[in-house]
Chain A
Amino acid sequence: MNTKARVFKPTLWSAAIAATLVTCVAFATPLGLPPLAVPADNPITPEKVKLGDKLFHDKRFSSTGEVSCANCHDKEKGFTDNLPVSEGINKLKGTRNAPTVINAAYLHTQFWDGREPTLEAQSAQPFLNPVEMALTNHEPILKIVRTDPEYVDLFKRAFAKTGNAITMKEVEQAIASFERTLIAGNSPFDRYFYGGEKSAMNPAAIRGLDVFINQGRCVSCHVIEQTQALFTDNRFHMIGSGAKQMPKNLDDLAAAVEDVKKRGTDIAVLSNEKTSSLGRYAVTRDLTDIGAFKTPTLRNIALTAPYLHDGSLKTLEEVIQFYNNGGREKETDPVPELLSGGIRPLNLNKEQEADLVEFLKALTSPEFAQK
């Protein structure tokens, strides 16, 4: 096994497998998706999902009482906010584009830089980030869920716990369980590719699939497999986005790393563009990872504009132009010095670009398709 290229170090990897004994999910796996791995210590139950749904939408868990998880992960917007970067309390802006929650349950790591391995661990952080929900600690949440009669009842049903026995662990587990139900396949692509329905995609999308797999080389990172497709390799790549914000010299880099050490990754990266542009490096401090961000899934991509980790590209056309230019918005922009080797000009013509967009639009699941 060839080491760092993998998402997990060998030891972590085996630990992760041991902790993630796959349990059977109560509902059928949608076409085009693999079976979902659920942590052995947090099986999905209808009670937990219901509780998680409520927690996810509760605005009281923010310092102003105006922001819930759903503010930035809005079902009507493909579980994103359709903003370049998310807005928390008092319209404070972070530095990163809200990733969709749909199919996040399949990802090996959470956040654009993978700083948390699980949905459970991810869910606790935005409550405390000053530009998101801005609580100083988790106590206000616990106070509400231990006393609000509706929550008292829901926690009793989901975890058979009341009062001080309810901790953030249960809150996290409930939110994660709700998120594990947000999986969606069955797109026109799935019906065409895995369902054998030849008319499920239009001819332009079918040509676009060919570009996706061949000349466009998109599939190298946005993986399609024989029986299922998550459209991600769960790895981190420096694709050129954020290159302009990246620290230009050692002093800048050292300052950004110092910031991460002092305030923690979560707070440091969302409050400073320069620190944010470090990407995966802020987590691993491995030079290979400077400016590298996680490959996002492409499922439901048509619903989740704008794009890239900083929301810097407004449309799918712009994204494809960006890749066609080898990780640059304009052909005349300089080639980013630490660009990943896989990113280089693609020489796609206008028709191929348009076909690719058509293909990406065929990745929308019916339950989220705008009527």
Chain B
Amino acid sequence: MKMDRRTFLKTTGAAAMASALPISLVAMAFGEKNPAKDFSFAYISDAHIQQIEGSKFVRNWDMGLTRAVQEANLLTPRPDFFFFGGDLAQLGKKEEMDHGLEILSKLRGKAYYVIGEHDYYLDLGKYWESKISPLWYSFDHKGVHFIVLNSILTYDKWTHKNWADPMDRMLAMARLDNPEGSPFLVGEKQRAWLKKDLEKVDKSTPIVLCSHSPIQKIYKGWNFWTEDAESVQTLLKPFNKVTVIYGHVHQIQYNQVGNISFHAVMATAWPWPYPKSYVQDPSHLPKLTVPINRADPFFERDATGWQFMNLRTGNVDMHYQLPDNENRSVVFNRKTGRPQDAKYQSVGSRIPPQTHY
């Protein structure tokens, strides 16, 4: 795909401008035709709040989530709501979720929650369900149909194996490159629910689906992967405008599969490297993705962040807020029909990576 910078700026217009301006002062020009339906929302994910002991928690992760909350509260115009994209806790403990919720309680507005595997595999979502949110649900907002899935389930045989302690199960799922691990699944039950949920939605209604794991297959060793991704994609196929937003990968990724745009969100805790640098397993990192430059270890927030999104075109325009790095915007290009980086998509405009000796 080739496109010179000038045409690109022209086609992305206001959104590209917005990313160059201070976000706290931007009056974003959403949608030309139906301004009543324009809105934005903020998305914070992968906080990994981790208890050390008693009331002591890992400071770095606390500070990451706190910063994101503070910054998101400064958005103008106000976002209509917030999303938390999963992995609030590190090891699924009540203490971790309570502590994380305390930080999130400072968000000025309603928040929706997506569960991650770090929140789930200790008590299989019981505390989450009782205190925070249902595990899967849908709602409508200003003409957009939002769906939240619990995409980090896995085969019952693994989940209900003869674990000596539920914490063993939690730790096994938290481990990368675990030969005894198990791939994520949305599962038959939820897919049946989704099918039914979508039956009542008009095909021209924009759909935004939020899950913790990518509903596409990128890298199995780290569960950048959902085993039944294709079956879920099939259910979404009849709709004109579909966006899937996922956490879990702690890095910028975007992709277009048929009618579905995919966007990953950043973690507030730490960045993961891109799986393409690993050779143990094939990586299917989306070709469209321009990776974020390498994190500078001097800055502990570098390559973490949060994001706000708008639905100017009925597709999601994603604005990454990246402390100690360049903010990025990945916006839907109506001409090419896919999400593209507003600044760095063409090879010539990319910043060369740092040289490491």
Contacts and interface: CB of A to CB of B under 8 A. Distances in A.
Interface of A: 1-5, 10, 220, 249-250, 253-254, 257, 285-288, 335, 337-339, 341-342, 344
A6 B190 CA distance: 47
Interface in B47-105: 59-60, 63, 66-67, 70-71, 73-76
B76 A288 contact: no
Contacts of B293: 1-3
B323 A1 contact: no
12 contacts: A1-B354, A3-B326, A5-B296, A5-B298, A5-B302, A253-B24, A287-B71, A287-B321, A337-B66, A341-B301, A342-B299, A344-B59
Given A257-B22, A285-B24, 13 more contacts: A1-B354, A3-B326, A5-B296, A5-B302, A250-B73, A257-B24, A285-B25, A287-B321, A337-B67, A338-B70, A341-B300, A342-B300, A344-B59
Given A250-B76, A257-B22, A257-B25, A2 B325 contact: yes
Interface in B287-301: 293-296, 298-301
Interface string B223-237: 000000000000000
Contacts of A1: 293, 351-352, 354
Contacts, number: 73
B67 A286 contact: no
Contacts of A337: 66-67, 70
A285 B67 contact: no
Contacts of B321: 287
Nearest to B24: A253
B324 interface: yes
Contact of B326 (A4, A250, A253, A342): A4
Contacts of B174: none
Given A1-B354, A5-B302, A285 B22 contact: yes
Contacts of A286: 22, 327
B24 A220 contact: no
B23 interface: yes
B296 A253 contact: no
A299 B21 CA distance: 37
Contact of B294 (A2, A254, A341): A2
Contacts of B327: 286
A341 B66 contact: no
B325 A3 contact: yes
A337 B67 CA distance: 6
A337 B65 CA distance: 10
A342 B71 CA distance: 19
A214 to B, nearest CB: 16
B351 A3 contact: yes
Contacts of B300: 341-342
B322 to A, nearest CB: 8
A339 to B, nearest CB: 7
A329 to B, nearest CB: 19
Contact of A341 (B23, B71, B299, B351): B299
Contacts of A4: 322, 324-326
A243 to B, nearest CB: 12
Nearest to A220: B298
A5 B325 contact: yes
The 7 closest A-B pairs by CB, nearest first: A285-B22, A341-B300, A3-B326, A288-B323, A337-B70, A2-B296, A287-B71
Contact of B63 (A2, A250, A285, A341): A341
Contacts of A287: 23-24, 71, 74, 321, 323
Contacts of A335: 63
Contacts of B301: 288, 341
Contacts of A341: 60, 63, 299-301
Nearest to B73: A250
A110 to B, nearest CB: 23
A286 B322 CA distance: 10
Contacts of A339: 63
A286 B325 CA distance: 10
B96 to A, nearest CB: 19
A4 B343 CA distance: 15
A342 B59 CA distance: 11
Interface string B316-352: 0000011111110000000000000000000000011
B67 A2 contact: no
A150 B60 CA distance: 60
Nearest to A326: B59
Given A257-B24, A342-B300, A10 B324 contact: no
Interface in B19-42: 21-25
Contacts of A285: 21-22, 24-25
Given A1-B352, A2-B296, A257-B22, A250 B302 contact: no
Contacts of A254: 24-25, 76
Max count, chain A CB within 10 A of own CB: residue among B21, B295, B326: B326
A344 B301 CA distance: 14
A5 B241 CA distance: 37
A220 B66 CA distance: 23
A314 B302 CA distance: 33
Nearest to B78: A250
A321 B293 CA distance: 36
Given A1-B354, A5-B296, A287-B23, A253 B74 contact: yes
Contacts of A5: 296, 298-299, 302, 324-325
Contacts of B22: 257, 285-286
Given A254-B76, A285-B22, A337-B66, A10 B351 contact: yes
A28 to B, nearest CB: 32
B192 to A, nearest CB: 43
A170 B71 CA distance: 44
Max count, chain B CB within 10 A of own CB: residue among A1, A4, A287: A287
A327 to B, nearest CB: 11
A348 B299 CA distance: 22
Max count, chain B CB within 10 A of own CB: residue among A10, A288, A335, A339: A288
Contacts of B21: 285
Nearest to B25: A257
